[in-house]
């Protein structure tokens, strides 16, 4: 199983380290051909507008298609903004696919960055989190599961195979959130293999 990381800007190296600590093969994604054979992809933190501008053309179109068709994706901070259907009240998403509305830089400027511990559904009450100019989730759709909150605001959520976090788990030594995503990707791959076998049998 190979997990890709969108390698256009942001904390690519840190995500790679977290995934490799879990024994997962990692591939940098810079163009559309790098998506072949992946079981999931991570959108790292960075500057979402710059990431959107860089991920143009066929790569952007293919990522949007995957996001809307249940392919496993994990977006942190700016990566979450890429996957949100609504950003700052504007219903024209970067990529979209996840029924959430996001407020950019809701935690303040970079000088207001902070670290805390969160209770994350499915993981535990002691998950370290680093917030840097973090966007917050201000609305979720009926099919979205809120996984963590900070000051009564949703900061982590899941919808199907899409996982997002306002914060940066890759900047900590804790790999449990990355393990959650790897498990999502592994289960999705397993289900696809079963479906392909069933379709081959019917032929």
Condensed to tens digits (0 to 9), the pLDDT of residues 77-120 reads 999 999 999 998 777 778 999 999 999 866 555 546 899 999 99
Task: Write the DSSP symbol of residue 177.
Answer: H
Kindly name the residue from 14, 15, 170, 178 that is annotated as catalytic.
Answer: 170
The residue written with tokens 């190296």 in the block is 13
Q: Which residue has the higher pLDDT, 54 or 71?
A: 71
pLDDT score, position 111: 46
Q: What is the mean pLDDT of residues 140-169?
A: 96
Question: Does 72 score more than 70 pLDDT?
Answer: yes
pLDDT score, position 171: 95
Kindly name the residue from 15, 94, 168, 178 that is annotated as catalytic.
Answer: 168
Range of the domain at 68: 2-202
| Overall domain count for the chain | 1
User: Which range is least confidently modeled, 54-63, 106-115, 139-148?
Assistant: 106-115
Q: Write the CB contacts of 194 (distance below 8 Å, at least 6 apart in sequence).
A: none
Tell which residue, 95, 90, 97, has the closest CA to residue 61. Answer: 95
Kindly name the residue from 14, 15, 77, 94 that is annotated as catalytic.
Answer: 77
Q: Taking all residues of the chain, what is their mean pLDDT, rounded to a whole number?
A: 90
Quote the CA–CA distance of 184 and 161 in Å, as a whole number.
Answer: 6
Question: Does 8 score more than 80 pLDDT?
Answer: yes
Give percent of the chain above pLDDT 70: 91
pLDDT score, position 197: 82
Number of other residues whose CB lies within 10 A of the CB of residue 74:
30
Q: Tell me how many degrees the CA angle 66-68-70 measures, rounded to the nearest 5.
A: 70
3-state secondary structure at position 156: strand
Tell me the CATH number at 155. 3.40.50.880
Question: Does 154 score more than 70 pLDDT?
Answer: yes
pLDDT score, position 57: 82
Quote the CA–CA distance of 202 and 84 in Å, as a whole number.
Answer: 38
Would residue 199 show up in a list of annotated catalytic residues for this protein? no
Tokens of 107: 């935690």
pLDDT score, position 94: 84
Would residue 188 show up in a list of annotated catalytic residues for this protein? no
Question: Does 202 score more than 80 pLDDT?
Answer: no
Question: Does 48 score more than 70 pLDDT?
Answer: no
pLDDT score, position 53: 66
Question: Does 55 score more than 70 pLDDT?
Answer: no
Q: pLDDT band for 186, please (50, 70, 90 cuts).
A: very high
Task: Write the DSSP symbol of residue 80.
Answer: H
Would residue 168 show up in a list of annotated catalytic residues for this protein? yes
Tell which residue, 21, 27, 50, has the closest CA to residue 39. Answer: 27
């Amino acid at each position: 199983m190979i997990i890709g990381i969108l390698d256009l800007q942001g904390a690519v190296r840190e995500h790679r380290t977290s995934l490799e600590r879990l024994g997962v093969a990692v591939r940098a994604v810079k163009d559309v051909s790098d998506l072949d054979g992946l079981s999931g992809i991570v959108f790292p933190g960075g500057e979402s507008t710059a990431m959107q501008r860089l991920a143009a053309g066929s790569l952007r179109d293919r990522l949007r298609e995957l996001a809307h068709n249940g392919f496993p994706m994990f977006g942190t901070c700016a990566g979450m903004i890429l996957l949100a259907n609504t950003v700052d009240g504007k219903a024209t998403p970067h990529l979209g696919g996840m029924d959430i509305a996001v407020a950019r830089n809701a935690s303040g400027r970079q000088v207001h960055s902070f670290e805390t511990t969160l209770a994350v559904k499915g993981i535990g009450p002691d998950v370290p989190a680093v917030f840097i100019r973090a966007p917050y989730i201000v609305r979720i759709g009926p099919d979205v599961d809120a996984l963590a909150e900070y000051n009564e605001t949703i900061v982590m959520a899941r919808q199907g195979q899409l996982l997002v976090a306002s914060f940066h788990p890759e900047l900590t030594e804790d790999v449990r959130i990355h393990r959650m995503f790897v498990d999502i990707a592994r289960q999705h791959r397993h289900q696809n293999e079963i479906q392909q076998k069933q379709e081959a049998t019917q032929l």
